[in-house]
Chains A and B, each alone.
Chain A
C-alpha cells in the first residue's frame, strides 16, 4: 500500500450514521457494490438497513433514465429501522444516475461522480441539455469529481484485459473510494472477489487492483478533506448475519419443516420479486426440500396442495398477479381443509404494474379475492428478519388448523436487508403434528373440539381411504352434500375455525402510551420501520402519539378493538389507498385516518412524522 509519508492527513470524524446511495446504469454493478459495502459494514458491527431499487428491465438502454439502478444502505452505531429517508452520499456513475437521484440527496450532501461519463452523448441519452457539473445546479452539494473509467483503465493497463472487461471493474474503484471515505477495510471484499472469480483469477486480480486503486486514490490525493467513521452499534450480544427478506423467508420455511418434521415442498413459478424464494430453497435439497418450478402459477399452488394431501409441507410463493391466478386453488385448500402456505411478495399493481417496486395493495385480494365465503388467515412480515419468524408462524397456523394461510411480504423487505441475530434452533417453536393413523372410527371431516380442524389422513395409511374435493362436504363424513342446512353449517364452521385462531394470538402491543392518548399510529407489514422512526421523533417533540404494529391481519388479535378505542384518533400509513383501514372500520366502527403512498417506494420517516405533526397541531390549533 502507500507509504505513511505520502499520505495526506485527512481528519477522521466519528458520526453516528450515514446513508449512501450507489447509482449507475443497470450494467454498472450497483447492486453488487452496495451489497459489498453493506456486508463489510455488517462485519464491522454496524446496524444497517438496505433498499435496492432497480428497473424491471434487465438491461434498459444504457445511459438512460429508465436504466438507472440504485442501492441505498444506511449504517449506524445505533438501532435503526429504515434504510433512511434521504442519502448523505450519492455515488453517480453516469449523468442519468445523477439526474434521477440527486433530488433525494440531503442539502450539503456528498456527490461522487464519474466524470468520464459526463459527455454530450450521455447527456443526450439522459435528456440533459446543460452539463450539470457546470451549470451551478449542484451548488448545494459537495461534489467530488473523479475520472473513474480512466483511472480504472490505467490501473489495468498491464492486465491484458480488453477495454470492455476493464470498464466492468470501475464499480470497484467507486467502492474503494467509499471504503476509504468511511474507514472500512478492504479485506472482506477482496476475499469475496477471490471466491467469486475463483475460476477466473485474472478477473479477481483486476477487480482487487481497481478496488485498491480507488482506496489509494483517496489516500494520496486530497480529494476529500475529511474521513468518517461509523462505530459499531450497540446490539444484543449474539451471532449475527445480514439477511434479505426473501432469504429469511426461505430459512424460516426450512426451519418450520425441521421443527414440524414435514418435508418442505415448494411449488413456484418465476415472478418478481418472489423468485428468490424459489432460488434459495432450490439450493437445499440436502434438507429434504423439494422445489418444483411449475408450468404456471396455478400448477405451482396445485402441486403444493397435492404435496400437502400427501403429508408434506406444501408452500407456494408468488406476487400479486400470480396470487390472482392461484385464487381458485386456494379455495380448494379452504374446502378440502388442507394446510398450505401461500407467500405473496407484493409489488406495485394492478396488472403487471411495477414488478420491481414495492406496494401493500394485495391485502384485500388475499382477504376477499375468491368466490364464496372463503376465510383464510393472513399474516404479515414487518422487516427482512421478521420473515423468518412469520414463516414459522404461518406453518404453525396452517398445520394446526388445517387451513391455507397467506403470508404477506413485499418487494421492500424481500430485497432489503438488515442484521439478524441468529436464533437458537432449540428455542424455535415445536411444530410437530400427528397424522391420523387409527382407522377405528375415522371420519375425514370429524373436528377437533378446540381448533375445529379435521384430521390429516395421508394416502398410504391403511383403513383411511377417503375422498376429498372441491364440492361441499357433509360435516364429519366428508361425503359430497348438497343439503342446504349442512352448507350453511359448513360455511359457519370454516369461518369459526379461522376466527378461533385469535384465541392463541398474542395481544397487539402499544408502544408509547399503552393506556391511550391523542393519536395511535397503526401499521402492518413493511411500514414498521418508518413508523417506529416517525413516532419516536414525534414523542421527542412532546407529541402524544403511540404506535402499534399488526402481524395478524386475519383474524385480528383479540384486543385490537379495545386498543383502537383507547385513542382519540388512529393514523394508518399504508402503501395502498387504505385497505386495512377499510377492514378496521368495518370491523370496529372506528374511523381511521389513512396516510397513503403508492409510488413504488416505502414511506420515509419524515412523511409519517409530517402527518403526525399536522394531525396533532391541527387539533391543538382548534
Chain B
C-alpha cells in the first residue's frame, strides 16, 4: 500500500475541482450538488487522496470526472458493487457514490438493497430527478403514476418507488433527504452523511430542467416552499410552515397535521428521534407527501451498527489469531500427503 503522507489538510473547494469541462446542461441541478460536495469535502479534514467517488451511468454519474479525487465511473447500476469491493480492500478510504434514480433503483436495484443491508461504509448520493435524462426523457422508477414521457405517451402505469422507504426496508442505517438548491441544508446533510460510519443514503431532489423541469417546484418555489418543507431536527418537535403554525403528531398508528396556536402548541407535536432502532417511525415519515402533508427534509434515520468491513476485518483477525498467520508451505502440505522416495531404475 502507498505510504502515508497526507496532503495538507487545509484544503479548499478549488482543490476538489478538476480541469475537465463540466458537461451538464446549463441550469441542471447537478451543478448545485457538485458545488455543495466540493465545499463540504475540504471541511472534513481528510486528505484528498483518500477520497474516491464511484458512480454508475447517467447524468449524475458523470460526477467523478469533476471531482479532483480518485474516481471510478463504472457501469450502469453497479457502483455499489464496485464500491463494496474497494471498501473491503481499502477500508481506510472515504468512498462516495454518485447515482441517480434510474441507476440505483432500476438497473442497480439489487446492488442498492444489498449494500444497504450489509451496511458497507460508503456514502450514497442519489440524485432523484424522476426521469431518465441522459437517454433523453423516459420515465424512471420514481416518476409519478400517469407521467407522460417519450416512452409513456399515454402516461406511466407503474407505481413509483419511494426511495427512502425502499432504503429503510433494506435495513439502511442512515437515510436523509435534501434538495439541490437548498445549499445550506444540502451541505449540512452531506456533513451528517460524512460522519455516519455505515452506509449513508441521501436522496437529493434534483431538477432536470430539460426533461422534467419543476418536478419539485412545490418545494422549491418561493411562494410555497415554507409551507411544503418539514425540516427534521433530532430532539425537536415537528413544526413547520412559514409562521411555525403547523405540526405533526401521532394519531394512533398514523401521523396527522395539526394547526398550532390555539389549544395546541409545539409540545403537542411529535418530537423527532432519528436514532430509534426500530425504523417504523422513519418509515411513516418517509411516506409523508403532499397533498395533505409536507415533504420532510433532513435526517430520517441515523443508527450505529458495525459496518460490513469492520465485521469482515474482525473475522479475519479472529481467524488469524486462531490459526496463526498462514504459511504457504503449510497450506500446500495440508491434508493427507505421502512421500515418494528415490526408486531404482527398472
Contacts and interface: CB of A to CB of B under 8 A. Distances in A.
Interface string A64-90: 000000000000000000000000000
B64 A239 contact: no
B3 interface: yes
Given A309-B86, A314-B85, A460 B92 contact: yes
Nearest to B334: A241
A468 B53 CA distance: 10
Contact of B84 (A39, A237, A299, A435): A299
Contacts of A458: 1-2, 90
A309 B70 CA distance: 10
A306 B337 contact: no
B89 A469 contact: no
B332 A265 contact: no
Contacts of B335: 241-242
Given A302-B78, A479-B20, A290 B88 contact: yes
Name the residue in A267, A295, A336 with the highest tally of chain B Cβ atoms < 10 Å from its Cβ. Answer: A295
Contacts of B328: 254-255, 258, 287, 425
A304 B335 CA distance: 29
B342 A237 contact: yes
Contacts of B340: 45, 232, 235-238, 240, 421
Contacts of B90: 310-312, 458-460
B331 A241 contact: no
A329 interface: yes
A22 B114 CA distance: 43
Nearest to A257: B328
A227 B328 CA distance: 41
A5 interface: no
A103 interface: no
B72 interface: yes
A467 B65 contact: yes
Given A265-B89, A296-B110, A310-B90, A290 B2 contact: no
A185 interface: no
A254 B330 CA distance: 12
Interface string B68-87: 11111111001011111111
A423 B89 contact: no
A258 to B, nearest CB: 5
Name the residue in A42, A45, A286 with the highest tally of chain B Cβ atoms < 10 Å from its Cβ. Answer: A286
B8 to A, nearest CB: 10
Contacts of B217: none
Contacts of B316: 285-286, 288, 290
User: At the interface, is chain B mostly helix, strand, loop or mixed?
Assistant: mixed
A462 interface: yes
Name the residue in B7, B73, B113, B333 with the highest tally of chain A Cβ atoms < 10 Å from its Cβ. Answer: B73
Chain A: number of interface residues, binned into ranges: 35 or more
B253 interface: no
A242 B346 contact: no
Nearest to A294: B81
A460 B93 contact: yes
Given A304-B85, A462-B5, A469 B49 contact: no
A299 B89 contact: no
A329 B322 CA distance: 36
A566 B91 CA distance: 56
B323 A332 contact: no
A422 B331 CA distance: 10
Given A258-B328, A306-B82, A459-B86, A237 B70 contact: no
B114 A299 contact: yes
Nearest to A316: B85
Interface string B20-46: 100000000000000000000000000
B338 A45 contact: yes
Contact of B336 (A39, A232, A237, A292): A39
Nearest to A305: B82
Contact of A241 (B50, B84, B336): B336
B277 interface: no
Name the residue in B47, B83, B86, B335 with the highest tally of chain A Cβ atoms < 10 Å from its Cβ. Answer: B86
Contacts of B331: 251, 254, 284, 287
Contacts of B64: 467, 469
A310 B90 CA distance: 6
B304 interface: no
Name the residue in A39, A306, A312, A471 with the highest tally of chain B Cβ atoms < 10 Å from its Cβ. Answer: A306
Interface in A293-343: 294-296, 298-300, 302-312, 314, 328-329, 332, 336
Contacts of A240: 337-340
B7 A286 contact: no
Contacts of B336: 39, 42-43, 188, 241-242
Contacts of B267: none
Contacts of B334: 241
A45 B57 CA distance: 58
B341 interface: yes
A234 B346 CA distance: 10
A437 interface: yes
Interface string A453-473: 000001111111111111100
Interface string B305-346: 000000010011001101111101101111111111111001
B215 interface: no
11 contacts: A240-B337, A242-B336, A285-B319, A286-B316, A299-B81, A299-B114, A308-B85, A309-B72, A309-B82, A459-B50, A462-B2
Given A303-B82, A465-B69, 10 more contacts: A235-B340, A254-B328, A286-B316, A303-B88, A305-B85, A306-B81, A306-B83, A329-B78, A459-B50, A466-B70
